[in-house]
């Protein structure tokens, strides 16, 4: 349940007490961005780019019932967050492996659709967050804040068209799912996963490990 | 999910029953690729028993269509339930697949 933080006194002791008691809300954070979404707005009218955005978001979000997890959209980028407790309640897509496979498949469908005039290719970053809280500073909004959400946004800088960037923390969760299901570690799109890369992201005090999967 | 196969004079009918998702799409992938590798280029996928499909399932159907089309064959679907048809519509599949309401009608085109 989201907690709305709003105190008019900047030095409020009550605020500090409330913040101190807010629990973490571990879960999976995704950023999905549509490529070329700026330049197509200069090339065609709303009828053209509006249709492409509609079609692309539908394939990304609605086919896999991800729309209920959209936290916010900023321009043509969306942030999704699935808390662990929500993931466990789902009847499908209820493992990190399943989520990754369906996101890969959605990008594959967009990239390989025979009518390329209807869609735009996408890029994605995924991270398993532990340093995150379900809070908002804006009334009636649901949001998630924490260093791991910011890190997911940083991972997005490593993604390009038709690429999924996954943090090592998320990758380990996926591998554990495969082990639990008794499946080979190169099942599905994991056959295409890269070696581990390290990066020092701006504002993050330690190196971050991540991998990438290029969509076929 | 259950998959069954029926070879007829006109085509191979692949029937899907249950949910087609990340936990089982590889079964369908193997079935379709085995058929295509064995030169079966007329495939009818009977979907009347399929009650859920995720994008992983759609991906396999698209791969099947592409491979069969490359062989100049036919890859046809039939019997989509309403919720499945909606997913096909949303993902732009209704314009790229030949889809028939029933098996009987689909068989007429082979």
Q: Where are the domains of chain B?
A: 6-107
Residue with tokens 């259950």: B2
A76 to chain B, closest Cα gap in Å = 19
- Of the candidates B39, B43, B54, B107, which has an alpha carbon nearest to the alpha carbon of residue B84? B54
Report the C-alpha gap between A144 and A187 in whole angstroms: 31
In this complex, the residue of B23, B26, B62 whose CB is nearest that of residue A109 is B62
In the predicted model, is pLDDT for residue A74 greater than 90?
no
In this complex, the residue of A93, A105, A188 whose CB is nearest that of residue B58 is A105
In the predicted model, is pLDDT for residue A129 greater than 80?
yes
Structure tokens belonging to residue A48: 């053209």
In the predicted model, is pLDDT for residue A93 greater than 90?
no
Interface with chain B: mutation pick from A53, A54, A96, A101, highest number of B CBs within 10 Å: A101
Extract the runs of DSSP E, i.e. beta strands, from chain A: 3-4, 27-34, 70-74, 77-83, 122-129, 135-136, 163-167, 197-199, 208-214
* pLDDT tier for residue A77 given thresholds of 50, 70 and 90: very high
- Strand A163-167: give its sheet, edge to edge: A70-74, A77-83, A27-34, A122-129, A163-167, A208-214, A197-199
Query: Scanning every residue of chain B, which has its alpha carbon at the shortest distance from the alpha carbon of A64?
Result: B54
From chain A, pick out residues whose CB is under 8 angstroms from the CB of B96.
113-115
pLDDT at A149 (0 to 100): 97
Region A24-214: CATH code: 3.30.70.1230
In the predicted model, is pLDDT for residue A100 greater than 80?
yes
Query: Scanning every residue of chain A, which has its alpha carbon at the shortest distance from the alpha carbon of B52?
Result: A92
Report the C-alpha gap between A139 and B55 in whole angstroms: 35
Give me the interface pTM, i.e. the ipTM. Answer: 0.92
Helix intervals (H) in A58-167: 84-89, 96-112, 147-155
**A10-64, pLDDT tens digit by residue?**
999 999 999 999 999 999 999 999 998 888 899 889 999 999 999 999 999 988 8
Query: Scanning every residue of chain B, which has its alpha carbon at the shortest distance from the alpha carbon of A112?
Result: B62
pLDDT at A65 (0 to 100): 84
In the predicted model, is pLDDT for residue A91 greater than 80?
no
Domain ranges of chain A: 24-214
Contact A63 B23 (CB under 8 A): no
**Fold type of domain B6-107:** Transcription Regulator spoIIAA (3.30.750)
Contact B59 A108 (CB under 8 A): yes
pTM value is: 0.94
């Amino acid at each position: 349940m989201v907690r709305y933080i709003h105190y008019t006194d900047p030095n409020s002791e009550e605020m500090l007490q409330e913040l101190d008691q807010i629990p973490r809300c571990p879960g999976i954070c995704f950023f999905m961005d549509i490529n070329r979404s700026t330049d197509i707005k200069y090339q065609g009218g709303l009828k053209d780019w509006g249709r492409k955005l509609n079609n692309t978001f539908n394939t990304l979000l609605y086919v896999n019932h991800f729309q209920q997890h959209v936290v916010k959209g900023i321009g043509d980028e969306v942030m999704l967050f699935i808390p662990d407790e929500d993931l466990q309640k789902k009847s499908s897509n209820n493992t990190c492996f399943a989520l990754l496979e369906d996101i890969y498949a959605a990008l594959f469908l967009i990239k390989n659709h025979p009518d390329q005039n209807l869609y735009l290719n996408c890029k994605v970053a995924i991270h398993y967050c532990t340093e995150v809280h379900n809070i908002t500073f804006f009334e009636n909004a649901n949001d998630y804040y924490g260093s791991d959400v910011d890190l997911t946004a940083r991972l997005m800088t490593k993604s390009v068209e038709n690429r999924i960037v996954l943090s090592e923390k998320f990758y380990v969760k996926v591998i554990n799912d495969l082990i639990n299901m008794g499946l080979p570690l190169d099942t599905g799109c994991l056959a295409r996963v890269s070696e581990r890369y390290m990066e020092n992201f701006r504002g993050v005090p330690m190196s971050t490990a991540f991998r990438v999967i290029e969509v076929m | 999910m259950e998959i069954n196969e029926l070879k007829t004079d006109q085509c191979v009918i692949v029937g899907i029953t249950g949910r087609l998702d990340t936990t089982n799409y590889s079964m369908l992938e193997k079935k379709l690729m085995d058929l295509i590798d064995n030169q079966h280029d007329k495939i009818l996928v009977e979907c009347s028993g399929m009650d859920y499909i995720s994008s992983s399932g759609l991906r396999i159907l698209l791969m099947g269509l592409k491979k069969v089309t490359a062989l100049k064959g036919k890859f046809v679907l039939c019997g989509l339930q309403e919720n499945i048809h909606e997913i096909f519509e949303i993902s732009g599949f209704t314009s790229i697949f030949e889809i028939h309401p029933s098996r009987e009608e689909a068989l007429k085109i082979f």
